[in-house]
Structure 1
Amino acid sequence: MTVIERPPLLSRLKPWLSGFDIPLLLAIFWLCAWGLLCMYSAGYDHGTRFVDHARNMALGLGLMFIVAQVPPQRLAALAVPLYTLGIALLIATALFGISKKGATRWLNVGITQIQPSELLKIATPLMLAWWFQRRESVLRWPDFIAAFALLLLPFLMVAKQPDLGTGILVLAAGLYVIFFAGLPWKLILPAVVLAGAGILALVVSEDKICQPDVTWPVLKEYQRHRVCTLLDPSKDPLGKGFHIIQGEIAIGSGGMTGKGFMKGTQTHLEFIPERTTDFIFAAFGEEFGFMGALALLAGFTALILRGLIIASDAPTLFGRLLAGAVTLSFFTYVFVNMGMVSGILPVVGVPLPFISYGGTAMVTLGLSLGMLMSIARARKLVKT
Structure 2
Amino acid sequence: MYLKSKLENKNNFLSKIKNIDLILFVSILLLGFISLATMYSTDGGEILFHTKSHFTKFVIFTFLMLAISFLNIRFWFSLGYLGYLVIIVMLIWTINFGITASGSQRWINLYYINIQPSELMKIFIILCLAKFFHRKRLETVNSFYSVIISLIIIFLPMSLVIIQPDLGTSLLISISGIIVLWFAGLNNKYFFYSILISVLSLPFIISFLKPYQKLRVLTFLNPDRDPLGAGYQIIQSKIAVGSGGLFGKGYLKGTQSYLEFLPEKHTDFIFTLFSEEFGFVGSVFLLLLYAVIIYRIIKIGALSRSYFAKLFCYSFGVSMFVYIVINMSMVLGLLPIVGSPLPIMSYGGSSMLATMIGFGIVMSAKIHSDQSIA
TM-score by length of 2: 0.89
Do structure 1's residue 351 and structure 2's residue 341 form an aligned pair? yes
Partner of 2:350: 360
Distance 2:371 2:158 in 1: 36
Kept in 2: contact 1:98–1:107 (CA 8 A): yes
CA 1:99–1:35 in structure 2 vs 1: closer, same or farther (change >3 Å)? closer
Kept in 2: contact 1:173–1:325 (CA 8 A): yes
Counterparts of residues 162-201 of structure 1 (less than 5 Å): 162-192=165-195
State the secondary structure of the residue aligned to 1:99: strand
Do structure 1's residue 142 and structure 2's residue 148 form an aligned pair? no
Counterparts of residues 1-384 of structure 1 (less than 5 Å): 14-43=14-43, 44-45=45-46, 47-109=48-110, 113-136=114-137, 138-139=140-141, 140-192=143-195, 216-379=206-369
Kept in 1: contact 2:219–2:231 (CA 8 A): yes
Letter in 2 for 1:256: L
Structure 1 gaps, min length 5: 203-208
CA 1:380–1:220 in structure 2 vs 1: closer, same or farther (change >3 Å)? same
Kept in 1: contact 2:248–2:280 (CA 8 A): yes
Letter in 2 for 1:260: G
**1:296-329: per-residue Cα shift (whole Å, max 9, x none)?**
0000111112211222222112111111111112
Number of positions where the alignment pairs a residue of Structure 1 with one of Structure 2: 364
Deviation of residue 47 (structure 1)?
2.6
CA 1:232–1:169 in structure 2 vs 1: closer, same or farther (change >3 Å)? same
Deviation of residue 380 (structure 1)?
5.4
Letter in 1 for 2:106: R
Deviation of residue 102 (structure 1)?
2.1
Deviation of residue 379 (structure 1)?
1.7
Q: State, as a whole percentage, how many aligned pairs show the same letter.
A: 37
Deviation of residue 46 (structure 1)?
7.4
Kept in 2: contact 1:19–1:381 (CA 8 A): no
CA 1:193–1:300 in structure 2 vs 1: closer, same or farther (change >3 Å)? farther
CA 1:20–1:348 in structure 2 vs 1: closer, same or farther (change >3 Å)? same
Kept in 1: contact 2:306–2:371 (CA 8 A): no
Kept in 1: contact 2:167–2:338 (CA 8 A): yes
Instruction: Name which of structure 1's ranges 231-240 and 11-20 shifts more when overlaid on structure 2.
Output: 11-20
CA 1:111–1:265 in structure 2 vs 1: closer, same or farther (change >3 Å)? closer
CA 1:73–1:215 in structure 2 vs 1: closer, same or farther (change >3 Å)? closer
Kept in 1: contact 2:19–2:366 (CA 8 A): yes
Structure 2 gaps, min length 5: none
Deviation of residue 190 (structure 1)?
4.3
Letter in 1 for 2:119: E
